[in-house]
Amino acid sequence: MIKAGQLRQGAVITYNGTLHEVLEAQHHKPGKGGAFIRAKFKNLSTGSIISETLRPDDTFDQAFIEQKQMQYLYKDNLGYCFMDETTYEQVHISGEKIGEKTDYLKENMSITAKICSGEILTIDPPIHVVLKVVETDPGFKGDTVSGATKPATLETGKVVKVPLFVEKDQLIKVDTRTGEYIERA
């Protein structure tokens, strides 16, 4: 059992009889009235996202999640193909189940799969990935405004905001938790 006040991003709980991943949980203490938790849950079987307001003492069953290292191989009409790095067994996972994390997948990349009762629930790519910029506006000499950014399209199709000095065909490091540019690689 876990209380709503202890919910953290990435935890998997049983909510309304189905498995949900906690996307965010924010504790609020207004000046008047009792504290409450605003939480977003992703239903792991349907992929739908719900927002709930909870009391800090509401309880949930926490699911036992096994984590396994897998390697991303390729994408085809069945979905995204991953290989278990210990047994070499290949598994296909639908894009709906993975969600926005597909924006960070490169062939032969190692990921962590979250598994419950033998079923892959979701995947976690590495915290930082290095991706190639395939399209961006050119930076101009004299564009030295501090903190200025421009959009850049990466090799996976993801669009991120980058500083003006980043150019096409450069490799950049991106944080997969926030989707933000970190540095040139």
Distances (CA, A) of 178 to 63, 166, 181: 25, 19, 9
pLDDT at 72: 92
pLDDT at 15: 85
The pLDDT assigned to 39 comes to 92
State the pLDDT at residue 118.
Answer: 79
| Domains of the chain with CATH codes | 2-62 (2.30.30.30), 67-124 (2.40.50.140), 128-184 (2.40.50.140)
pLDDT value, residue 171: 92
- What is the pLDDT tens value at each position of the chain, 185 positions in all? 888 888 888 788 888 888 888 888 898 888 888 889 999 998 877 778 899 999 888 898 888 888 899 999 999 998 899 999 899 999 888 887 787 888 889 889 999 988 887 778 788 899 999 999 999 888 666 556 667 888 999 998 889 999 888 888 999 999 988 888 998 88
DSSP string, 140-178: -TT---TT-EEEEEETTS-EEEEETT--TT-EEEEETTT
> Does residue 71 contact residue 111 with C-beta atoms inside 8 Å?
yes
Could you report the per-residue pLDDT of 43-89, keeping only the tens digit for each?
877 778 899 999 888 898 888 888 899 999 999 998 899 999 899 99
